[in-house]
Amino acid sequence: MNQPTNNNPTTNRQVRLVSRPEGIPQAENFAITTEPVPTIGEGEILVHNIFLSVEPAMRGWVSNVANYSEPVAINGVMRSFATGQIVESQHPDFLPDEYVTGLFGWQDYAVVNPEKIIRKVDDNQLPISTSLGVLGLNGMTAYFGLLDVGQPKAGETVVVSTAAGAVGSCVGQIAKIKGCQTVGITGGPTKVELCRDQFQYDRAIDYKSENFEQELADACPQGVDVYFDNTGGKITDAVLSHLNVGARIVICGTASVSNWNPHPLGPRVERQILVNRARMQGVLIFDYADRYQEAVDALTPWINDGLIHYEEDILQGIEQAPDAIAGLYRGENLGKRLIKP
Amino acid sequence: MNQPTNNNPTTNRQVRLVSRPEGIPQAENFAITTEPVPTIGEGEILVHNIFLSVEPAMRGWVSNVANYSEPVAINGVMRSFATGQIVESQHPDFLPDEYVTGLFGWQDYAVVNPEKIIRKVDDNQLPISTSLGVLGLNGMTAYFGLLDVGQPKAGETVVVSTAAGAVGSCVGQIAKIKGCQTVGITGGPTKVELCRDQFQYDRAIDYKSENFEQELADACPQGVDVYFDNTGGKITDAVLSHLNVGARIVICGTASVSNWNPHPLGPRVERQILVNRARMQGVLIFDYADRYQEAVDALTPWINDGLIHYEEDILQGIEQAPDAIAGLYRGENLGKRLIKP
């Protein structure tokens, strides 16, 4: 483990949600406050966060619109995955100096019980930051979403939106490992190049291109068997017009739809689903909690063998947190966005 | 078998598609022609049709829009399922006087090879007409669509659109047999009553009601676990707002959408699919060709035991055929529509 930690803190900086955004959370929806480092009670664990995660899904977590979790409370610490080192423990299963990853929030220190901990982090040669990306929920989402829901077969065409992102880049590479033809959809020439060179997509195209629809058709001469969808919206509309019979559409995120209230309109999907006997299904990684280790065990050797590459975008300082989600939606990151507080 | 047949014909009346409709096929898109009864060659079978089927899916069969089958040719005999009696056979597996069901077309006589025959009809006490409805592709679609794709569990809420139709009525009753709460959506008070009294739905509601959305919410106090969708469109939009986590949506038909060109708009589904980890999947009965007998074997005792009721709407005379599809879309039939030529 190559990360510095500070075991002699005096204060705990926390990023709190101070107002509820309409749509994408912006810097002004958050404030940074300071309080003393908390003390722990029976069965509790004090974790010093080393990396905080920034996720597109955070837009949903702070929204009042129906979701898979309770919205973050106003003036509450922003919900977040994080990886840190145990400073103090009153639980027999967790010892000081161990590294753990879990729902620790955007703060320097978290008092947690074991239910908040996803797993201990002990990934051999891999940097600890991977526990929040390619070996974190992003990589696990790619693994279960593609293999369990998408069920790609060798020779099939797999299309991925936000193909250069933390989830998408992993999806594309797992599909390649499984013998599929991979087509990445991303935004801008830098990410297109990253998709081709780093993430080994067979073809990568830019959704911002004037000729996007034609380029998509050219990239999928055999049609689309699996579409791993991180965007929804117009990109999805375009991909759905190329479905093969029996196609699987994995709905993992809706990054391109900036607001669900009022409910946006799009082309009706019923007929394409029917005619192609296609299957469209949502995936949420928390449903796979009892199988996380399976994904880590599968992904680790692929990473070590150079079959899966990953990129990280590490922001320095907790003061970067308030604008970090908005930045994701501006598309300014290359790879998994983290904050080193 | 209680159906009269005429084995001494002199002419073969045929209903031909003479122009391609935009949307729902109307009477003027068809013409009735007459030719001599055909003769058969080696390996062929001459079938005298006793009942011709009328299906909502025929709209798709005559359309040039991408579909699961080649469009019926202009001036070709209208594609149709039918049940008839063998008049003459030059194939060792099929004998004169046997009853068979298959793709025989809207005509008095069909010359077919065994590939056009779905099965021999020998359903004990049940009328031969059931071979085109509750024991035909309608019942089979209900059986495989609900059980294979929808996978209902006892205690779950199953919602069915076109609940009084040939497929929908069977879906509701199979769901009831499986211990589900059943909610039927249909059009008009007569069909609502039919759903409640004849098809044993726990609740039935009228999509034409001013308070349809509220009535739907009241009918599904536990949310929706399985939606068997024969309509698409606004009915589907309303049902999707009540999905439970893990819900299954079986897309079987799009009867409420009168035209797919230009592509109609509706509320985007991505977020509901994602948040509920729902699965939306199309079903086409032809994919189950090697399992038809399984459905017939399961449905027959349920019908004989009074667990599945069915209605038929039998039009007398082949001259009723040209307007018969449009009539389905006008909602004028109660139960499976057939033509007795």
pLDDT of residue B4: 44
Q: Is the pLDDT of residue B3 over 60?
A: no
* DSSP secondary structure of B262-317: SPPEEE--HHHHHHTT-EEEE--GGGGGGGHHHHHHHHHHHHHTTSS---EEEEES
Question: Do B12 and B107 meet the contact criterion of CB atoms below 8 Å apart?
Answer: yes
pLDDT-based confidence at B123, cuts 50/70/90?
Answer: low
From the list B251, B270, B281, the residue facing A236 with the nearest CB is B270
Q: Taking CB atoms and an 8 Å cutoff, what residues of chain B touch A281?
A: 273, 277-281
A137-286 CATH:
3.40.50.720
Identify the pLDDT of residue A262. 85
The answer to whether A49 and A108 are in contact (CB under 8 A) is yes
Residue A177 to residue A227: CA distance in whole angstroms: 17
Whether residue A99 contacts residue A75, with contact meaning beta carbons closer than 8 Å, is answered with no
Residue A311 has pLDDT above 90, yes or no: yes
pLDDT digits (tens, 9 = 90+) for A168-193: 999 999 999 999 999 999 999 999 99
Instruction: Enumerate the residues of chain A whose CB falls inside 8 A of the CB of residue B257.
Output: 268, 270-271
| Residue to test with chain A: of B275, B283, B286, B288, most A Cβ within 10 A | B275
Listed by start position, the domains of chain A span 11-133+311-340, 137-286
Mean pLDDT of A76-95: 97
- Place B23 in a pLDDT band, splitting at 50, 70 and 90: confident
Count interface pairs A-B at CB distance under 8 A.
Answer: 114
- How far apart CA A194 and CA B206 sit, in angstroms, is 54
- Give the pLDDT of residue B5: 47
Q: In the structure encoding, which two tokens stand for residue A17, read together? A: 């949600």
A11-133+311-340 folds as Quinone Oxidoreductase; Chain A, domain 1 (3.90.180)
Q: Give pLDDT, residue B57.
A: 87
A9 pLDDT band, cuts 50/70/90, is low
Peptide bond into B262 cis (omega under 30): yes
| Mean pLDDT confidence for B195-204 | 97
Question: Tokens standing for A317?
Answer: 């300082």
What pLDDT, on a 0 to 100 scale, did the predictor assign at position A222? 97
Query: What percent of chain B shows pLDDT beyond 90?
Result: 86
Q: Is the pLDDT of residue A286 over 60?
A: yes
CATH fold for the domain made of B11-133+310-340: Quinone Oxidoreductase; Chain A, domain 1 (3.90.180)
Does ipTM top 0.90?
Answer: no
Residue in chain A closest to B245 (alpha carbons) equals A68
pLDDT band at A294; cut points 50, 70, 90: very high
Helix (H, G, I), strand (E, B), or coil: what is residue B95?
coil
pLDDT for A333: 83
- Minimal Cβ distance to B236: which of A233, A270, A280: A270
Give pLDDT, residue B42: 95
Helix (H) or strand (E) segment spanning residue B245: strand B243-251
Contact A199, A190 (CB under 8 A): no
CB neighbours of residue B325 within 10 Å? 26
**Average pLDDT in the B29-43 region?**
96
Identity of the amino acid at B233: G
Confidence tier at A66 by pLDDT (50, 70, 90): low
Interface test with B, best of A65, A274, A277, A281 (most B CBs within 10 A): A274
Enter the tokens of residue B196. Answer: 């409640």
Q: Which residues of B touch A (CB under 8 A)?
A: 60, 66-68, 229, 232-233, 236, 245, 251-254, 257, 260, 263-271, 273-284, 287
Separation CA A242–CA A218 (nearest Å): 11
Question: For B229-240, what is each residue's pLDDT tens digit?
Answer: 999 999 999 999
Task: pLDDT band for B224, please (50, 70, 90 cuts).
Answer: very high
In three-state form (DSSP H/G/I as H, E/B as E, the rest C), the secondary structure along chain A is CCCCCCCCCCEEEEEEECCCCCCCCCHHHEEEEEEECCCCCCCCEEEEEEEEECCCCHHHHCCCCCCCCCCCCCCCECCCEEEEEEEEECCCCCCCCCEEEEECCCECEEEECHHHEEEECCCCCCCHHHHHCCCCHHHHHHHHHHHHHHCCCCCCEEEEECCCCCCHHHHHHHHHHCCCEEEEEECCHHHHHHHHHCCCCCEEEECCCCCHHHHHHHHCCCCEEEEEECCCHHHHHHHHCCEEEEEEEEECCCCCCCCCCCCCEEECCHHHHHHCCCEEEECCHHHHHHHHHHHHHHHHHHHHCCCCCCCEEEEECHHHHHHHHHHHHCCCCCCEEEEEC
Q: What is the pLDDT of residue B259?
A: 80
- Compute CA A121 distance to the chain's CA centroid, rounded to the nearest angstrom: 18
Phi, psi of B91 (to 5 degrees): -125, 130
Using a CB-CB cut-off of 8 Å, the residues of chain B touching A67 are 275
Cβ neighbours for B294, distance < 8 A, ≥ 6 positions apart: none
Residues of chain A contacting B, Cβ within 8 Å:
60, 66-68, 229, 232-233, 236, 245, 251-254, 257, 260, 263-271, 273-284, 287
pLDDT at residue A3 greater than cutoff 50: no
Band (pLDDT 50/70/90 cuts) for residue B1 is: very low
- The CATH code of domain B139-286 reads 3.40.50.720
Rounded mean pLDDT of chain B?
93
Nearest alpha-carbon partner for B266 in A263, A34, A129: A263
Q: Measure in Å the smallest separation between the Cα of A146 and chain B Cα atoms.
A: 14
For B274, the closest of A251, A264, A265 (CB atoms) is A251
Please name every residue paired with A45 in a beta bridge, in sequence order, or none if there are none: A89, A112
Choose among B68, B265, B278: nearest Cβ to A267: B265
- Which of B274, B286, B288 is best to mutate for the A interface (most A CBs within 10 A)? B274
Confidence band for A1, pLDDT divided at 50, 70 and 90: very low
pTM: 0.89
pLDDT digits (tens, 9 = 90+) for B50-98: 999 999 889 989 988 766 678 999 999 999 999 999 999 999 999 999 9
% chain A with pLDDT above 70 = 96
Name the closest residue on chain B to residue A241, using Cα atoms. Answer: B66
CA A62 – CA A75 distance, rounded (Å): 11
Mean pLDDT of chain A: 93
Q: How many whole angstroms separate alpha carbon B60 and alpha carbon B258?
A: 11
Residue B14 neighbours by CB under 8 Å, 6+ apart:
B32, B33, B34, B35, B77, B105, B106, B107, B108
Summarised one tens digit per residue, pLDDT across range A217-243 is 999 999 999 999 999 999 999 999 999
From the candidates B67, B280, B284, B287, which should be mutated to test the interface with A, based on the most A CB atoms within 10 A?
B280
Nearest CA in chain A to B241: A66
Of A267, A274, A282, which has the smallest distance from its Cβ to B254's Cβ? A274
Q: Write the residue in B245, B264, B287 that is nearest to A268 by C-beta.
A: B264
Strands B157-161 and B117-120: unpaired
Give tens-digit pLDDT for A96-144. Answer: 999 999 999 999 999 999 999 999 998 667 899 999 999 999 999 999 9
Cα A187-A193-A199 angle, rounded to 5 deg: 95
